[in-house]
């Protein structure tokens, strides 16, 4: 039963409560960094790291939190781990850090992270909080990668900067621009709605 | 009063303790990774400048402090001397910055030893429109159209044109089609920085 509950918590973030496709959270990085696969994957993994760390800390101090100060505590915790992630990228992946620019520090105000701290970590034990963070983080990463794969393929004919499309393919420059992000995300969400209604 | 102070600490002790702990964590992380981050910045500059001044084996900052006036503000410029294996100056490299279409544009610019001709530029940072303005990033080796026009261009006032032969190296720069603003931004940045830097360096006796 406990295993089933943990499995359900994990899989909720992948589909039923996918933060991008079902909850429509984290739209800013979703639209901004999905012009190519590499930045999308880097952003997704950064969010996974911050989610796991912040959920662990919030879960450990959940019994000590004062209700009127909890948001402040959440923000302090999240900001710390986002700063660590930002420093890590600057130190070990400087090209990706430059490509992502201000969107890594903006993870601090990503609603997914503070939302999971409030909805799960502040009310659950350590294991459940970690599983929830992993599920939500992977769900977010998969959604970003799906969007990035479509956009990069159509905008450049490449995936992970490796040529995929045949030589006769004419790249759609618009897919690399904001309009391409909005249209692609809209179509993906429409598809998700269709699939959800049918099931 | 003591009741109020006691209440204050009862309510906020976790916040204060967390602030100290997280602050220490960030300080340790920063101390551990700061040298690497700074080295990355130097490496990026050296990589771009080395690609422009191919004879240079190393780059050394000059001893003098160069400061130029950009839009009424005194802006320090760290000029680096490109030295070949024999220790001779083969050129100069520095970072300059201007406003692009979407965001600021930061360039590594190199000139010859006499500071009369450009050796070209590399893009340290830009956030221009993909497929249009970001073409300023495409290097000559990758079939770039815009960057090669600056290799050998005179240090002076450059003029952006919409038509012309980009293969002709002079003070006329042909704009990227569909990215006139970005193209103009690069030209304006170079016009604002190069001549003042040359004047200051000449005044310091650095130019022969």
Pairing of strands B104-112, B89-99: antiparallel
On the question of pLDDT at A79 being above 90, the answer is yes
Sign of torsion over alpha carbons A149, A155, A160, A162: positive
* Number of neighbours of residue B154 by Cβ within 10 angstroms: 13
CA–CA min distance B141, chain A (Å): 17
Chain A residues touching B11 at Cβ < 8 A: 66, 69
A102–chain B Cβ distance below 8 A for any pair:
no
Residue of chain A whose alpha carbon sits nearest to that of B129? A177
- For the stretch A112-131, pLDDT in tens is 999 999 999 999 999 999 99
How would residue A98 be classed by pLDDT, with cut points 50, 70 and 90? confident
Nearest to A137 by CA among A5, A3, A29: A29
On the question of pLDDT at A102 being above 90, the answer is no
CB proximity list for B174: less than 8 A, separation 6 or greater: B149, B160, B161, B162, B163, B164, B165, B166
pLDDT value, residue B130:
72
Average of pLDDT values for B184-207?
93
pLDDT value, residue A173:
85
Average of pLDDT values for B21-42?
96
- For the stretch A137-176, pLDDT in tens is 999 999 999 999 999 999 999 999 899 999 999 999 899 8
The mean pLDDT value of chain B amounts to: 92
CA–CA min distance A73, chain B (Å): 7
- For the stretch B41-100, pLDDT in tens is 999 999 999 999 999 999 999 988 889 998 899 999 999 999 999 999 999 999 999 999
A1–chain B Cβ distance below 8 A for any pair:
no
Average of pLDDT values for B19-42?
96
CA distances from B168 to B93, B174, B180 (A): 24, 10, 19
**Rounded CA separation A88/B161 (Å):** 43
Chain B residues touching A77 at Cβ < 8 A: 18, 22
pLDDT value, residue A1:
58
Q: Buried b vs exposed e over A83-105: b needs ≥16 C-beta within 10 Å?
A: bbbbbbbbbeebebbbbbeebbe
- E-strand spans in chain A? 158-159, 162-163
**Rounded CA separation A7/A115 (Å):** 20
Orientation angle between helical segments A2-14 and A126-156, nearest 10 degrees = 30
CB proximity list for B90: less than 8 A, separation 6 or greater: B53, B55, B56, B82, B83, B84, B112, B113
Chain A residues touching B130 at Cβ < 8 A: 35, 155, 173, 176-177
Q: Where are the domains of chain B?
A: 51-203
Pairing of strands A162-163, B118-125: unpaired
pTM listed for this prediction: 0.83
- E-strand spans in B26-65? 58-61
Q: Which of B8, B18, B128 should be substituted to probe chain A, the one whose Cβ sees the most A Cβ atoms within 10 Å?
A: B18
Residue of chain A whose alpha carbon sits nearest to that of B132? A173
- E-strand spans in chain B? 58-61, 66-70, 73-77, 80-83, 89-99, 104-112, 118-125, 159-161, 172-174
């Amino acid at each position: 039963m406990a295993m089933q509950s943990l499995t359900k918590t994990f899989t909720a973030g992948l589909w039923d409560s996918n933060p991008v496709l079902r909850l429509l959270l984290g739209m800013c990085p979703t639209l901004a960094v999905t012009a190519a696969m590499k930045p999308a994957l880097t952003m997704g993994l950064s969010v996974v790291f911050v989610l796991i760390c912040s959920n662990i800390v919030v879960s450990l101090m959940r019994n000590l939190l004062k209700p009127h100060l909890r948001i402040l505590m959440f923000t302090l915790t999240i900001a710390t781990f986002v700063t660590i992630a930002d420093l890590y990228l600057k130190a070990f992946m400087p090209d990706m850090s430059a490509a992502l620019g201000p969107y890594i520090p903006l993870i601090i105000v990503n609603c997914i992270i503070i939302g999971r701290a409030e909805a799960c970590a502040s009310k659950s034990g350590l294991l459940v909080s970690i599983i929830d963070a992993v599920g939500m983080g992977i769900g977010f990463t998969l959604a970003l990668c799906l969007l990035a794969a479509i956009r990069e393929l159509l905008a450049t004919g490449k995936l992970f900067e490796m040529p995929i499309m045949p030589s006769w393919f004419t790249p759609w420059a618009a897919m690399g621009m904001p309009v391409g992000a909005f249209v692609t995300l809209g179509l993906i969400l429409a598809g998700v709605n269709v699939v959800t209604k049918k099931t | 009063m003591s009741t109020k102070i006691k209440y204050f600490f009862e309510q906020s002790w976790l916040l204060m303790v967390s602030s100290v702990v997280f602050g220490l964590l960030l300080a340790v992380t920063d101390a551990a990774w700061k040298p690497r981050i700074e080295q990355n910045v130097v490496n990026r500059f050296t990589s771009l400048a080395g690609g422009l001044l191919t004879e240079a084996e190393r780059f050394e900052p000059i001893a003098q402090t160069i400061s130029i006036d950009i839009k009424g503000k005194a802006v320090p410029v760290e000029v680096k001397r490109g030295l070949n294996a024999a220790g001779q100056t083969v050129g100069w490299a520095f970072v300059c910055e201007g406003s692009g279409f979407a965001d600021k544009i930061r360039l590594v610019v190199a000139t010859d030893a006499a500071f009369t001709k450009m050796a070209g530029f590399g893009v340290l940072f830009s956030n221009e429109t993909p497929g249009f303005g970001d073409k300023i990033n495409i290097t000559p080796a990758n079939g770039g159209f815009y960057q090669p026009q600056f290799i050998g261009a005179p240090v002076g006032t450059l003029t952006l044109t919409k038509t012309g032969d980009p293969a002709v190296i002079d003070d006329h720069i042909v704009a990227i089609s569909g990215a006139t603003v970005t193209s103009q931004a690069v030209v304006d940045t170079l016009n604002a920085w190069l001549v003042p830097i040359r004047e200051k360096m000449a005044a310091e006796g650095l130019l022969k």
